[in-house]
Structure 1
C-alpha cells in the first residue's frame, strides 16, 4: 500500500474544518472513502490495498474526528457533505467515486444529492438512510437504543459524553462487538486507534452531534426528491442490514434515484471493511468497472 496522510492545509472561507486524510493506490479512478462511527479513516486499512491497481484512493476523517480539525457545530449531513466537497476541491480530485459506511454513507448520499456532477457513483455500505424507506425498519429495533442515548442532552450536555468520556475504550469495544459477526477482526490496537480519534471533549462531542443531527437529515432526505442520475450501490452485510436491501432500494427509487444496484457482503456484520474486506473490495471493483464501461460506450 503506497500511502500518504495529513490534514488539508487550506479550505475556502466558511467551508468548515480541515479534514484529515490518507491517500493510497495508483489506479485511474479517484475514489473517496468515508468512515462511520466510532471509527476513523483507519477503518479502510484492509480494503484500500485491494484496490491499489484500480483506484487512486483518499480516505477522509469526517469533520471533527480523527486527524480532522475540531468542529464545534453543524453536523447535519448536508453541511458535512459541503465540508467534504471543499476538501476534495482542495485535493484536486475532479469527479470521484464515493464509498461511505454508516455516518459516512449518510454524508455520501447528501454529497451525491448536492454535488451530482462531482460523483461518478456512490457505494453505501450496510447503511439505511434517514428519511428513506427502510430507516424505520432498522431503527425501531431495540438494538438501536443507542440512537436516543447518543442524542440525549437532558443533563445539560450530552448524556453519552458524560458517561463515556474516560471510558471510550470499553464503550467502543462493546459497541463494535455488538454489531459484529467477527469481532476478532477488530483488535485492541484498532480500538486504541479509534479511541485516539475521538479523544478529548471536542472530538467526542463531534461524534455524538452526528447522531443529534439525524432529525435534520431525515427532513432533508424526505424533501429531496429531484431525479438523481448518480448510480448507487447498496452493499449490505449478510448478518446486519441485508434484510432491508430491497426496501431501501425501492425507497431510493421512490425519491428519484434512477440507478440503484444491490450487493450482499457474505458472512459480515456491520463492519464489512474489517470483517470481509475482500468481498467488499470485490463489490466496489465490480461497481466501478461497470460504470466505467458504460461511460466509455457513451
Structure 2
C-alpha cells in the first residue's frame, strides 16, 4: 500500500492474517472492555469511523476492520461475496480470542453484519445497521426506491467497474453526493478514501463486491434474497438518515416476520454517510442500545 495510514489520536494498528489474507485492524479503547467491531462500506475503510471511535472508546474496546480488498488489507482476486466477507469477520474474532462482540456496520459493512448475525448469532451480541436496510424490506416500499441504487450499475460489470473506480472521479462524486451538507468534506479527507481505492487491486475489489452482490444475491436468489427465510435472533437497531438519498427511511420498515428484536431510528439532518455526518448520534444510540435489556418481539416500525 503506497498511501500512508492516516493518524487518529488514541488509535493503534495491527495486521492479522486469516483465511490466507492479511487484514488491517485499527484499535482503541480499553483492552478489557466489551468489544465493538466496526465495519465500513464502499468506497471507504476504517477511517470512516474516525469521529465515532473516540466516542465509543470511552466505554468499549473498539475494533475497526478493513475488509479484504479495502484500506490497508490485502486485496486478493476472490472472496468478495457477503458470505465470504462474513467468514473473514468470524475468523478475525477467532484470531483475537473473542467469543462475542457488538457489531456496527455502515452500508455494505452492515450487510456483512447482517449475514454474520444470521449465520453466527452466538458471535454477535448486538447489531447496529447504519444507512442500510435489513434483508427483508417490503417489496412495495423497496421497488419505488430501486432507482436510488443507480450508481451500482457502473461498478458491477467487469472490467468496466474497476475502470470507473480507478480512472474517473466517480467515487469522489459519490462521497459528495451522499451527504446532506455538501460543505462537509474537505479535499484532504476525500483524498484519504479516493487515493486508496484507485490502486488497481482495490479498484478490482470494489468491482467484485458489487458484482458478487448482484450475481450471488440478486440473480441467484431473485425472490427475496439468500436469507429470505432466515430468522434474526440478535437484537438489532437500524439507524437511518432522514435525507439519505440511497436508503430512505421508508425502506427501514418491516422485517418483523424474520426478526425477533429489531427497531429503527431516523436521525434528522443526516444523509447516507452517518459516521461522518452524525458520529455522536451513532455513539449515543450504541451506548444506550448495548446497555438496554433485550425486549423480545420488538420489531421495526411498519
How would you bin the TM-score normalised by the shorter chain? 0.7 to 0.9
Q: Secondary structure at the match of 1:74?
A: coil
Equivalence for 1:24: 28
The answer to whether residue 66 in structure 2 is matched with residue 61 in structure 1 is yes
| Cα drift, residue 293 of structure 1 | 11
The answer to whether residue 266 in structure 2 is matched with residue 264 in structure 1 is yes
CA distance 1:221–1:90, change in 2 (3 Å): farther
Q: Pick the aligned partner of 1:136 from 129, 132, 142.
A: 142
TM-score, with structure 1 as normaliser: 0.86
Q: Pick the aligned partner of 2:237 from 233, 239, 248.
A: 233
Deviations 1:39-59 (A, max 9, x none): 110000001111122211100
Q: Give the number of the structure whose residues are more often helix, by fraction.
A: 1
Deviations 1:90-148 (A, max 9, x none): 1223210000011101111011111110000100001124564368347522x422121
CA distance 1:248–1:276, change in 2 (3 Å): closer
Deviations 1:152-192 (A, max 9, x none): 23xxx2x132244233xx32221111111023333222211
| Cα drift, residue 88 of structure 1 | 1.7
Q: Distance in 2 between matches of 1:221 and 1:211?
A: 15
Alignment map for 1:121-132 (pairs within 5 Å): 121-129=126-134, 132=137
Q: Distance in 2 between matches of 1:281 and 1:209?
A: 31
Q: Residue 18 of structure 1 contacts residue 87 of structure 1 at CA under 8 Å; is this kept in 2? A: no
Q: Distance in 2 between matches of 1:17 and 1:133?
A: 37
Equivalence for 2:110: 105
Q: Residue 166 of structure 2 contacts residue 197 of structure 2 at CA under 8 Å; is this kept in 1? A: no
The answer to whether residue 166 in structure 2 is matched with residue 165 in structure 1 is yes
Q: Pick the aligned partner of 2:252 from 248, 253, 257.
A: 248
Q: Residue 238 of structure 2 contacts residue 263 of structure 2 at CA under 8 Å; is this kept in 1? A: yes
Gaps of 5+ in 2: 1-8, 297-302
Q: Distance in 2 between matches of 1:110 and 1:202?
A: 25
- Equivalent pairs counted in the alignment come to 279
Gaps of 5+ in 1: none
| Cα drift, residue 210 of structure 1 | 0.8
| Cα drift, residue 34 of structure 1 | 0.3
Equivalence for 1:44: 49
Q: Residue 37 of structure 1 contacts residue 207 of structure 1 at CA under 8 Å; is this kept in 2? A: yes
Equivalence for 2:11: 3
TM-score, with structure 2 as normaliser: 0.85
| Cα drift, residue 7 of structure 1 | 1.5
Equivalence for 2:174: 175
